[in-house]
């Protein structure tokens, strides 16, 4: 990058000298004369050219209950020069305060501007620089990089860091970008009974460094080079659970030790098996000196893969509801996802968050791949389809979708990159990629990529090049469509049969769902079902939109994506749909059954199939459906259809049938997993006095799910339903449950249940708190958003739709990554009317919004658009 004005270069040598002198007199040439807002990509690129060998030595002193921690930092980096000489640098530091700053031994200004501190060029030197800083960083229950959790069960205090994507600079002054990897050396002084966990092993120091009375100091070994967002620590009276040689460390807060003991071994074992499997698969040993997992209550995500120290949401590990087999497998997936990141994300890191999919897509894909190898009888690829594809297709057919590669000009917008595109579409597309290049070539490509970029950074084209080398297939056109273009194909397969000649023709054609003219390279397995026998044919489209297959015989049905190899919307043609609906109950292959149920649901959402027809089909087939996760998804969709897509009259007619089926199956299904599944169904659908009565009997244990003990959140979910339905006993039930469960969790769940009260005062009070109460933990708010926007309270919540939309810039600024989607899904998703739809679109037309926010709203309003369309069509 050159900053010399082109006009200057036309001047003679003397003028140039004068100009240079003028610059010197001003102080220096500055690549970024004003402190930029956030961290622009240009600043990050500039710094990567200027700096290397970054090291942070950080000392924190933690005082219980204080609203800040004090820190001492010695930071070292090697400064390069270009033809302009040494240029000044901006160090990132937000929301804290600096009391002293020295650069190479000289005192410097501690002023911060726009979240940056200037390191003047005159104080920097070529080669190694040492910057020493004393600072304070904020600690709060929500909204900061260092979060405090107060355990209401025993009064203990815990603090932990969470920096991704760019909050490390709220905890210490740094160059907060993923491609300036650094070595960290941390020590923490904390109360004597606290444990501190970080990226490496720590040991207690003695002598003059031991800390004041009642405190101790833990010193951690220096890390390998890692990105700032992967550095972390957690501190408090954590306990190590089931400490067993050969198994990774697992930490939990003191008050949950007993509960954790029961779950620890399976959590540690799947992780240990995963480490072994992935080390072999990637041909790279575990890349960091140790691996611990720390359970954090109310953690903002399922997990965060800090190098060597994954933090996990406690609620995702220690189940708050009676768990089913699928719940346990989903936990395995979470653990393997975070584990995969140690290689994909931590060892090799994306250069910038535009390539977020590189780590998230692969972690998600490899979690299923690994579980499939470790537990081959669990039909893992069926689960992959169920967990991954619907979410991906739901966003990818909206105007709010983005390519997998997402342009992010400033890191402050990186939070918006998180969502179904990276977590669902990317793994779906990666599965297709593995199918296209072949399993062995795929594995070898990943090995090559990890080896070539170990402890460094890479971009998506590095990965594509590695896969091209191992597969010897050109992947340019493939990557161009799937990584750089937004949207997806719909593949229509239509079947015509000439019975006299005994020949059928199958026409396969794709179209671009967003009508942007993209032709998608697709390789898929076409399923042909004829007289009880399945056969498949592989079809590849590279550059064409359609193909025709003529074959002997007349199939009953054809489906375009057997085994879910391809990515796209695959609907059934009318002939096949009729046959499938008649035969679903007798289909033996559960993966096929799952795919076809999924395709029928896509037809409902496309307003091509009456939602009432889907509900009837579900009511007919569900009593025989013994696959737990398939039953769960059919039940969930049936309830969605009842609550959103059909008219109130149809709902009043069909809901009691669903209630009766749920109650019967809950009591009589031979499988415990199914009884739990049906209990949840009853809780979700109950609206008649009879069903509400059954729920109340479950709270007083007059009615029990055979063999199942309800856990606290099961009970609170019942309370929430009763409150939302305005049951006459709701107030008494809520009070009784608060008395029965006075724990910290109980208080949080009571907060959730109360948000469902169908009265205007409650809604007003909650909404004010959402935006103005800084002390309310973020996870309390997040779990109450759905209760606030209960499906039958849209009249009460409609007045909050506009204020909720107005608040999105604040939400973006103050909340963690996934909160925005929860917020929009709750407030927009709580509505079903065309009046609400109009409000959202009017807002989109009139508000000045950041591009990422506009896209998020467009993504979420799609479901409301569909609801209005379906209700209009099938009234
Ligand atoms: Zn992840």
**pLDDT digit string (tens) for 415-435?**
888 889 999 999 999 999 999
Least confident of 212-216, 579-583, 784-788, 803-807: 212-216
Distance, first Cα to last Cα, the chain: 61
Using the mean position of ligand 1's atoms as its centre, give its distance from the Cα of residue 459 in Å: 17
Q: CB within 8 A of 428, min separation 6: which ones? A: 388, 389, 392, 567
Q: Could you tell me the maximum CA-CA distance found in the chain, to the nearest angstrom?
A: 96
Using the mean position of ligand 1's atoms as its centre, give its distance from the Cα of residue 744 in Å: 28
Model pLDDT for residues 529-573, shown as the tens digit of each residue = 998 899 998 888 776 677 788 889 999 999 999 999 999 999 999
Using the mean position of ligand 1's atoms as its centre, give its distance from the Cα of residue 360 in Å: 5
- Cα–Cα distance for residue pair 582/790, rounded to 1 Å: 35
Q: CB within 8 A of 416, min separation 6: which ones? A: 812, 820, 852, 853, 855, 856
Model pLDDT for residues 465-502, shown as the tens digit of each residue = 999 999 999 999 999 999 999 999 999 999 999 989 98
Using the mean position of ligand 1's atoms as its centre, give its distance from the Cα of residue 302 in Å: 9
Using the mean position of ligand 1's atoms as its centre, give its distance from the Cα of residue 822 in Å: 18
Long-range contacts of 575-578 (CB under 8 A, 24+ apart): 575/494, 575/495, 576/493, 576/495, 577/603, 577/609
- Cα–Cα distance for residue pair 797/806, rounded to 1 Å: 15
Using the mean position of ligand 1's atoms as its centre, give its distance from the Cα of residue 343 in Å: 12
- Cα–Cα distance for residue pair 823/836, rounded to 1 Å: 16
Could you give the strand order of the β-sheet that contains 112-113, starting from the edge strand earlier in sequence?
89-92, 116-119, 112-113
Using the mean position of ligand 1's atoms as its centre, give its distance from the Cα of residue 344 in Å: 9
Which pTM does this prediction carry? 0.93
Model pLDDT for residues 53-72, shown as the tens digit of each residue = 999 999 999 999 999 999 99
Using the mean position of ligand 1's atoms as its centre, give its distance from the Cα of residue 359 in Å: 7
pLDDT at 4: 31
Name the residue with tokens 């969470």.
Answer: 162
Using the mean position of ligand 1's atoms as its centre, give its distance from the Cα of residue 772 in Å: 30
* CA-based torsion, 601, 607, 611, 613: positive or negative: negative
Using the mean position of ligand 1's atoms as its centre, give its distance from the Cα of residue 258 in Å: 28
Using the mean position of ligand 1's atoms as its centre, give its distance from the Cα of residue 365 in Å: 10
- Cα–Cα distance for residue pair 56/58, rounded to 1 Å: 6
- Of 693, 662, 667, 690, nearest in space to 678 by CA: 662
pLDDT at 415: 85
* Neighbouring C-beta atoms of residue 156, cutoff 10 Å: 18
pLDDT at 17: 41
- Cα–Cα distance for residue pair 758/358, rounded to 1 Å: 44
Confidence of residue 686 (pLDDT cuts 50, 70, 90): very high
């Amino acid at each position: 990058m050159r900053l010399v004005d082109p006009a200057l270069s036309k001047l003679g040598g003397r003028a140039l000298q004068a100009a240079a002198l003028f610059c010197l007199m001003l102080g220096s040439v500055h690549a970024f004369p004003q402190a930029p807002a956030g961290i622009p990509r240009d600043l990050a690129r500039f710094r990567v050219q200027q700096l290397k060998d970054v090291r942070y030595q950080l000392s924190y002193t933690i005082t219980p209950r204080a609203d800040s921690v004090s820190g001492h930092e010695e930071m070292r980096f090697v400064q390069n020069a270009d033809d302009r000489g040494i240029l000044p640098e901006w160090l990132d530091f937000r929301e804290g305060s600096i009391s002293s700053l020295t650069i190479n031994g000289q005192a410097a200004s501690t002023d911060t501007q726009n979240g940056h501190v200037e390191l003047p060029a005159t104080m920097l030197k070529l080669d190694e620089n040492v910057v020493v800083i004393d600072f304070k960083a904020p600690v709060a229950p929500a909204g900061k990089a260092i979060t405090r959790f107060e355990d209401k069960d025993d009064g203990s205090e815990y603090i932990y860091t969470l920096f991704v994507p760019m909050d490390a600079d709220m905890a210490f002054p740094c160059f907060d970008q993923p491609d300036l990897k650094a070595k960290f050396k941390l020590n923490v002084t904390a109360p004597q009974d606290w444990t501190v966990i970080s990226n490496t092993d720590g040991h207690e120091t003695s002598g003059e460094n031991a800390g004041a009375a009642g405190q101790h100091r833990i010193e951690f070994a220096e890390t390998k080079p890692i990105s700032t967002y992967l550095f972390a620590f957690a501190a408090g009276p954590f306990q190590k659970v089931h400490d067993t040689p050969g198994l990774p460390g697992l930490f939990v807060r003191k008050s949950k030790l007993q509960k954790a003991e029961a779950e620890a071994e399976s959590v540690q074992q799947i992780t240990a098996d995963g480490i072994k499997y992935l080390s072999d698969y990637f041909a790279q040993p575990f890349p960091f000196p140790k691996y611990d997992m720390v359970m954090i209550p109310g953690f903002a995500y399922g997990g965060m893969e800090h190098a060597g120290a994954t933090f996990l949401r406690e609620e995702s590990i220690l189940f708050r509801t009676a768990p089913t087999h699928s719940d346990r497998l989903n936990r395995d997936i979470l653990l393997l996802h975070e584990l995969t990141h140690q290689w994909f994300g931590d060892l090799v890191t994306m250069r910038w968050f535009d390539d977020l999919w590189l780590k998230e897509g692969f972690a998600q894909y490899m979690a299923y791949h690994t579980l499939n190898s470790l537990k081959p009888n669990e039909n893992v690829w069926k689960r992959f389809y169920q967990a991954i594809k619907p979410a991906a297709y739901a966003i990818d057919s909206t105007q709010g979708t983005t390519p997998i590669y997402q342009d992010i000009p400033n890191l402050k917008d990186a939070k918006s990159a998180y969502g179904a595109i990276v977590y669902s579409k990317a793994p779906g597309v990666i599965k297709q990629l593995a199918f296209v290049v072949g399993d062995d070539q795929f594995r070898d490509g990943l090995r090559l990529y990890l080896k070539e970029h170990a402890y460094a950074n890479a971009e998506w084209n590095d990965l594509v090049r590695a896969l091209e080398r191992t597969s010897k297939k050109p992947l340019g056109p493939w990557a161009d469509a799937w990584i750089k273009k937004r949207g997806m194909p719909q593949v229509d397969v239509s079947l015509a049969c000439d019975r006299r000649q005994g020949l059928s023709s199958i026409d396969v054609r794709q179209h671009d769902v967003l009508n942007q003219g993209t032709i998608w390279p697709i390789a898929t397995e076409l399923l042909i079902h004829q007289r009880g026998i399945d056969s498949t044919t592989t079809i590849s489209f590279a550059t064409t939109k359609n193909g025709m297959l003529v074959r002997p015989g007349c199939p009953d049905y054809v489906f375009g994506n057997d085994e879910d190899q391809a990515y796209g919307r695959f609907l059934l043609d009318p002939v096949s749909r009729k046959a499938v609906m008649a035969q679903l109950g007798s289909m033996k292959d559960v993966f096929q059954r799952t795919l076809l149920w999924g395709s029928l649901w896509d037809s409902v959402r496309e307003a091509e199939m009456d939602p009432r027809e889907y509900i009837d089909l579900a009511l007919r087939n569900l009593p025989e459906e013994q696959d737990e996760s398939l039953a769960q998804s059919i039940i969930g969709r049936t309830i969605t259809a009842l609550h959103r897509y059909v008219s109130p009259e149809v709902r009043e007619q069909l809901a009691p049938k669903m209630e009766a089926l749920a109650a019967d199956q809950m009591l009589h299904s031979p499988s415990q997993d199914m009884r739990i599944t049906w209990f949840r169904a009853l809780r979700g659908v109950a609206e008649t006095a009879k069903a509400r009565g059954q729920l109340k009997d479950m709270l007083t244990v007059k009615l029990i799910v055979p063999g199942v003990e309800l856990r606290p959140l099961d009970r609170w979910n019942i309370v929430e339903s009763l409150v939302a339905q305005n049951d006459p006993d709701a107030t008494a039930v809520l009070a009784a449950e608060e008395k029965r469960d006075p724990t910290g969790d109980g208080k949080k769940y009571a907060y959730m249940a109360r948000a469902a009260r169908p009265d205007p005062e409650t809604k007003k009070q909650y909404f004010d708190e959402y935006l103005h109460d800084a002390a309310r933990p973020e996870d309390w708010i997040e779990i109450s958003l759905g209760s606030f926007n209960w499906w039958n309270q849209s009249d009460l919540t409609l007045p909050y739709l506009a204020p909720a939309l107005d608040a999105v810039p604040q939400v973006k600024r103050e909340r963690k990554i996934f909160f925005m989607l929860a917020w929009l899904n709750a407030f927009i998703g709580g509505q079903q009317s065309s009046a609400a739809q109009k409000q959202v679109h009017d807002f989109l037309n009139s508000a000045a919004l950041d591009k990422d926010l506009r896209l998020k709203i467009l993504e979420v309003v799609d479901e409301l658009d569909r609801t209005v369309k379906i209700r209009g069509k099938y009234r």
